[in-house]
Amino acid sequence: MRARIAVLPGDGIGPEVVAEALRCLRALAGSFGHTLELEELPFGGAAIDACGEPLPAGTLEACLAADAVLLGAIGGPRWSHPSAKVRPEQGLLGLRKALGVYANLRPVRVHPALLEASTIKPDVLTGVDLVFVRELTGGIYFGAKTREAASASDLCVYSVPEIERITRAAARLARGRRRRLTSIDKSNVLETSRLWREVCERVMRAEFPDVTLEHMLVDAAAMHLIRRPRDFDVLVTENMFGDILTDEASMLAGSLGLLPSASLGEGARGLYEPIHGSAPDIAGRGIANPYGTLLSVAMLLRHSLALPREAQVLESAVSRAIEGGARTPDIAGPGRACTTREAGEAVLEALAAPA
């Protein structure tokens, strides 16, 4: 098959992890006989430096014309001083909105070889396999903002159609898994959450009676995620709660650097990125974990290019690289840590010698 992928390496460790992802993707495409057009474009802080804006028109155009978008990470202290007029994050919010990708899927699986890498006890972690579906284009991140000398405000807004479509996306996913959906809100305090709960309840009763629905307050969810993570299947929540809870959930897997994500809308096109940021504290040292980005590429192959076999081959290669001991410092434990490049090499070797 032929496909066009817009590649946005971004800032900090973004270009480092994307470089490994591209090497593996090229090798995989070559062995399956696919022709991929991979176009690298400026985005985020790098684009602010190059042309004064985080999402240049040419980058947006290329993303809209592509079958999928692969992103590294954006941001960093250099562009985030309080008086900054343009910020890398504006580019990311703008891109998500322009692509219409409202459902952010964040799977969390615990690799058996990494049980010891987590700060949580292995017996709590064994068998954890959950997916967060985070609403991505509404809520407090997108509401009107004000700033006075002595106060500031951020408006949180959700509409009925926004809640309906994210509920459906999560319920469809649950149907293909263990048929359990947990909707997370703060309905004891927030009006947007009361609407969320009502709409979610209605959609599930009318359209997905075969999927078990439970509601959970966000504070309780934060606790249960650590106490009994195995009990969760699919979790759906609004933008900011999802942002925070998925960083927490990444600790189940052992590192922020391991988790992939897919942001999807109505069509096949999607935006794929690891859930971590630009990690300025380790940028430029060649030690970032590239597995979250590689697993994001697997999600891209599965969702946007309809290549489930290739996705599975890549996931299995990442798994075997980890089992073989290719572990960056964040997941190395007491063992020898490898570099970003060595982790990429290990995946390339596993791709060359299929299981």
Catalytic residues: 141, 186, 219, 243, 247
Q: How far is the CB of 130 from ligand NAD (least distance, A)?
A: 20
- By CB under 6 A, which span of 30-38, 154-162, 222-230, 272-280 interacts with ligand NAD? 272-280
Residue with smaller CB distance to ligand NAD, 17 or 131: 17
**Neighbouring residues of 146: CB distance < 8 A, sequence distance ≥ 6:** 152, 153
Binding status of residue 330 toward ligand NAD by CB under 6 A: yes
C-beta of residue 134 within 8 angstroms of C-beta of residue 237: yes
Angle, helix 340-352 to helix 14-32, in steps of 10 degrees: 10
Angle, helix 239-253 to helix 218-227, in steps of 10 degrees: 10
Binding status of residue 75 toward ligand NAD by CB under 6 A: yes
Residue 148: how many CA atoms within 13 Å on its side-chain side?
Answer: 3
Q: How far is the CB of 35 from ligand NAD (least distance, A)?
A: 29
Q: How far is the CB of 71 from ligand NAD (least distance, A)?
A: 7
Q: Which of 146, 150, 281, 334 is in the footprint of ligand NAD by CB under 6 A?
A: 281
Residue with smaller CB distance to ligand NAD, 187 or 340: 340
Residue with smaller CB distance to ligand NAD, 196 or 272: 272
Q: Report d(CA 222, CA 160) in Å as an integer.
A: 25
Binding status of residue 322 toward ligand NAD by CB under 6 A: no
Binding status of residue 74 toward ligand NAD by CB under 6 A: yes
Binding status of residue 300 toward ligand NAD by CB under 6 A: no
β pairing state of 180-185 and 68-73? unpaired
Residue with smaller CB distance to ligand NAD, 29 or 283: 283
SS3 200: helix
Q: Which of 100, 143, 280, 333 is in the footprint of ligand NAD by CB under 6 A?
A: 280
Binding status of residue 73 toward ligand NAD by CB under 6 A: yes
Binding status of residue 288 toward ligand NAD by CB under 6 A: yes
β pairing state of 103-109 and 129-135? antiparallel
C-beta of residue 38 within 8 angstroms of C-beta of residue 241: no
Q: Report d(CA 76, CA 11) in Å as an integer.
A: 7
